[in-house]
């Protein structure tokens, strides 16, 4: 071969090395990255086979990818086929380096090993290779073993090639100096690419763990919303997957890239992060009279005191009548006293009952609270005072749930805090919509939601999905203080009414029913008693053909 031809071939190889380097920089999938490294090295050297090992934390070289063209072997990497060989130990049982294995020697000494013929080489144990050759009818001859070292001079793996093939004669030849130079250059680039990918993966894992830690902390903060921050992401991703898979209807053209799906997942985990600032006294308010404790016990004592005071008042009147020579009918007095006690006991039971919030308090019940509030009793200063304070009446007449208007404002403010917190973070490009997705789950399609009063056309589809997921989870949750967990049929009826009321997105709701996402979620997260029969045709507003 002429010098010009050699130079031309080397130039082609260098250009190929450069293109492989570019591919390494652009690849985000770990398995594909490793394949690019090994296949690129095989291509540069016309090697028949090769193996890529990665260093494990317990000092072993693990087989990651194995390829052999002649034997049609392709294991590891994206093939999904496991490599049956155990990792190579860096150290022997006595603690000494395992230097008889060429891959381990290369890693331990950070040195390339170029062997023209394994069967004629001394100092390394190729007995395993010989057994493999005998079994497969193969001849492993030339070996090029190159360590991969990162920017901190740590060996992260080994690249090993077997049997360089002469392109013209198709015969096995030793790996040349130019081969070694090219593979060492590739190994250096590969180490950087693997290290960068590991670093990115590590930061991503740290980021996700931190996010889940925040979600867990919020769930732990309140025993009444435990698991909400974990279940909403599950339901949101079910909806997103169903929309992506949909081939017809409103979501027929809907797509999300892998990065966009990840972005939505992060937003779902963070959708309630603002609750870290919500006071426990408000978040955990299980009854209408609860502050730092449930004041119902004070009212119970007040009823008992009122019974005694009214009994004493009757007895005092009887004594006055007797002293004035009047006849006292003790039977009538006893009946009157029993009637008073029954009435007060009934009032006490009523107050205890309505102290637990419901979804709607009747106007007549609110009026009864006000009537009871006008009872009078003598306080410790012997002054006549109203039975219930204005604050107690205000709390006991809450129409829905257990929160006053002011407390509900505090609760609702968590979404404002969520948006402020999330918008303050320096997101990479792929996560820039996290605040919008996470901050929209309390908006309504008619613009009557909060905090921004957005309408449907102003919201992204993922944000609308999260709104449905958040409401469904809250309705079916069994750990809310003011209500028992609803069944599927009850929940879907309420959701259907919310669709008709232009509260939730109609297309997302129909998808939720049509793809039976409610049932898939229920089978994983709900109690068996909640999973009742659902007749989809009777769900308000449901359009099965959309």
Torsion on CA atoms 76, 78, 80, 84, rounded to nearest 10: 0
Q: Label residue 330 by pLDDT band (50, 70, 90).
A: confident
- For residues 438 and 191, which has the higher predicted lDDT (pLDDT)? 438
User: What pLDDT shows up at residue 328?
Assistant: 73
Q: Label residue 349 by pLDDT band (50, 70, 90).
A: very high
421: its two tokens: 């917190």
- For residues 512 and 318, which has the higher predicted lDDT (pLDDT)? 512
Does 179 have pLDDT greater than 60? Answer: yes
Least confident of 48-57, 75-84, 319-328, 353-362: 319-328
User: What pLDDT shows up at residue 482?
Assistant: 54
- For residues 168 and 492, which has the higher predicted lDDT (pLDDT)? 492
Most confident of 139-148, 351-360, 373-382: 139-148
User: What pLDDT shows up at residue 53?
Assistant: 96
Residues in the chain: 546
- For residues 318 and 125, which has the higher predicted lDDT (pLDDT)? 125
Place of tokens 């509030």: 373
Share of the chain above pLDDT 90, in %: 55
Does 286 have pLDDT greater than 80? Answer: no
- CA–chain centroid gap for 45, Å, is 46
Q: What is the mean pLDDT of residues 105-124?
A: 94
Does 347 have pLDDT greater than 90? Answer: yes
Average pLDDT, the chain: 88
Share of the chain above pLDDT 70, in %: 93
User: What pLDDT shows up at residue 46?
Assistant: 92
User: What pLDDT shows up at residue 10?
Assistant: 59
Q: What is the mean pLDDT of residues 206-220?
A: 81
- For residues 42 and 327, which has the higher predicted lDDT (pLDDT)? 42
- Closest alpha carbon to 192 in 156, 145, 146, 144: 156
Least confident of 21-25, 60-64, 350-354, 361-365: 21-25
CA distances 14 to 7, 24, 177, 414, 511, Å, are 10, 15, 14, 58, 54
Place of tokens 């069967």: 119
**CB-count burial class (<10 Å; 0-12, 13-18, 19+) for 466:** buried
Which pLDDT tens digit goes with each residue over 138-176? Answer: 999 999 999 999 888 889 999 999 999 998 899 999 999
- Report the half-sphere exposure of 220 (CA within 13 A, side-chain side): 6
Contact between 184 and 112 under an 8 Å Cβ cutoff? The reply is yes
User: What pLDDT shows up at residue 17?
Assistant: 59
Contact between 274 and 380 under an 8 Å Cβ cutoff? The reply is no
Which pLDDT tens digit goes with each residue over 443-464? Answer: 999 999 989 999 999 999 999 9
Contact between 508 and 466 under an 8 Å Cβ cutoff? The reply is no
Q: Label residue 419 by pLDDT band (50, 70, 90).
A: confident
Rounded CA separation 69/82 (Å): 18
User: What pLDDT shows up at residue 215?
Assistant: 78
């Amino acid at each position: 071969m002429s010098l010009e031809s050699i130079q031309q071939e080397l130039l082609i190889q260098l250009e190929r090395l450069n293109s492989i380097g570019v591919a390494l920089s652009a690849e985000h999938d770990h398995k594909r990255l490793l394949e690019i490294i090994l296949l690129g090295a095989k291509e540069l050297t016309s090697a028949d086979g090769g193996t890529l090992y990665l260093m494990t934390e317990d000092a072993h070289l693990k087989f990651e990818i194995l390829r052999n063209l002649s034997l049609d072997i392709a294991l590891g990497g994206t093939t999904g086929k496991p490599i049956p060989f155990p990792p190579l130990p860096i150290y022997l049982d006595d603690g000494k380096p395992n230097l008889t294995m060429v891959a381990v020697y290369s890693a331990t000494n950070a040195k390339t090993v170029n062997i023209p013929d394994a069967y004629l080489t001394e100092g390394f144990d190729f007995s395993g290779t010989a057994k493999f050759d005998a079994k497969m009818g193969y001849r492993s001859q030339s070996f090029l073993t190159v360590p991969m070292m990162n920017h901190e001079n740590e060996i992260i793996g080994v690249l090993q090639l077997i049997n360089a093939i002469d392109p013209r004669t198709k015969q096995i030849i030793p790996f040349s100096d130019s081969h070694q130079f090219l593979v060492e250059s590739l190994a250096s680039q590969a180490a950087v690419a693997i290290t960068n990918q590991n670093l990115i993966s590590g930061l991503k894992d740290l980021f996700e763990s931190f996010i889940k830690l925040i979600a867990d902390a919020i769930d732990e903060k309140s025993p009444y919303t435990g698991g909400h921050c974990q279940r909403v992401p599950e339901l949101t991703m079910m909806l997103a997957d169903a929309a992506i898979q949909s081939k017809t209807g409103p979501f027929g053209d809907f797509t999300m890239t892998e990065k966009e799906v990840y972005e939505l997942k992060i937003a779902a985990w963070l959708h309630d992060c603002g609750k870290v600032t919500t006071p426990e006294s408000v978040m955990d308010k299980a009854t209408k009279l609860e502050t730092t404790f449930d004041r119902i016990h004070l009212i119970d004592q007040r009823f008992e005191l009122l019974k005694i005071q009214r009994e004493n008042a009757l007895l005092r009147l009887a004594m006055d009548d007797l002293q004035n020579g009047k006849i006292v009918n003790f039977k009538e007095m006893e009946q009157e006293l029993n009637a008073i006690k029954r009435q007060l006991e009934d009032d006490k039971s009523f107050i205890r009952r309505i102290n637990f919030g419901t979804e709607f308090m009747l106007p007549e019940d609110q009026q009864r609270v006000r009537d009871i509030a006008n009872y009078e009793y003598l306080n410790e200063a012997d002054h006549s005072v109203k039975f219930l304070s204005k604050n107690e009446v205000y709390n006991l007449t809450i129409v829905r749930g257990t929160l006053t208007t002011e407390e509900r404002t505090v609760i609702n403010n968590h979404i404002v805090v969520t948006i402020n917190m999330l918008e303050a973070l320096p997101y990479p490009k792929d996560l820039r919509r996290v605040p919008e997705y996470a901050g929209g789950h309390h908006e309504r399609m008619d613009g009557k939601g909060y905090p921004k009063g957005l309408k449907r056309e102003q919201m992204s589809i993922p944000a609308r999905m999260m709104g449905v997921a958040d409401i469904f989870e809250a309705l079916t949750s069994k750990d809310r203080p003011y209500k028992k967990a609803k069944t599927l049929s009850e929940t879907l009826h309420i959701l259907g009414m919310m669709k008709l009321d232009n509260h939730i997105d109609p297309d997302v709701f129909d998808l939720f029913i049509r793809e039976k996402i409610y049932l898939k979620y229920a089978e994983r997260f709900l109690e068996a008693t909640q999973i009742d029969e659902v007749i989809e045709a009777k769900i308000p507003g449901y359009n099965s053909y959309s």
